């Protein structure tokens, strides 16, 4: 009887641990993540001043590196409490720089909505793969890369629909797209980077 009684607290602890992990990986919005949307416009503006419009592979690569650094730093400021290392910043910069360079060249630097969606998907894929590699899990990397590619494409579609002057050939999309991306990411980020005991 005492053996059964002793097992009860242990079973309860295991059940509580499983429930905690399940809740931290739920698809409820992490509202604080919306703050990352505020990093996109200034990061893109600085990149535009540094590299100019995205009309060549060199401009796209440099602009992506600059903008990606700002975006990655803002995201890491929140994710570091969940155990993510500073390599997230470098990964975002390299991912956006390479993804944008390839994506923009693929659509010949056109700014119609279809071309921007394709460019966005390729930019997001670069960012998603690079960021995902910092998570050191193949399934998480593939999932995050696919989600980020789709959200970057959507960001450009929403920006274009919102009337932003996309013919300026910006490095990243405008505030409408940023908020859309940040909100949708906030609902899935917990599935890829769950809360730790320290941040719960």
200 part of a folded domain: no
Question: How many folded domains does the chain comprise?
Answer: 1
19 part of a folded domain: no
7 part of a folded domain: no
139 part of a folded domain: yes
- Reference 152, options 188, 127, 186, 115; nearest CA is 127
What is the mean pLDDT of the segment spanning 66-89? 96
Q: What is the value of pTM for the model shown?
A: 0.84
pLDDT at 25: 52
Q: Which residues contact 124 (CB under 8 A, 6 or more apart)?
A: 99, 148, 149, 150, 151, 152, 153
Domain encompassing residue 62: 29-192
4 part of a folded domain: no
1 part of a folded domain: no
pLDDT at 26: 56
5 part of a folded domain: no
pLDDT at 91: 98
């Amino acid at each position: 009887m005492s053996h059964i009684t002793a097992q009860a607290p242990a079973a309860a602890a295991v059940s509580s641990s499983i429930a905690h992990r399940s809740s931290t990986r739920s698809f409820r919005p992490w509202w604080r993540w919306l703050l990352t949307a505020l990093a996109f416009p200034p990061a893109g503006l600085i990149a535009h001043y540094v590299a100019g419009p995205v009309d060549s592979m060199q401009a796209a690569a440099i602009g992506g590196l600059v903008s990606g650094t700002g975006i990655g730093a803002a995201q890491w400021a929140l994710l570091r409490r969940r155990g993510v290392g500073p390599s997230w910043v470098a990964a975002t910069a390299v991912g956006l720089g390479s993804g944008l360079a390839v994506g923009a060249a693929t659509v010949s630097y056109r700014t119609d909505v279809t071309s921007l969606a394709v460019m966005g998907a390729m930019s997001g894929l670069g960012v998603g793969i690079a960021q995902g590699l910092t998570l050191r899990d193949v399934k998480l990397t593939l999932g995050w890369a696919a989600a980020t590619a789709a959200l970057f494409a959507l960001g450009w579609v929403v920006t274009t629909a919102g009337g932003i002057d996309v013919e300026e050939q910006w490095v990243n999309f405008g505030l409408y797209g940023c908020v859309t991306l940040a909100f949708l990411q906030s609902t899935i980020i917990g599935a890829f980077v769950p809360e730790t005991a320290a941040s719960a």
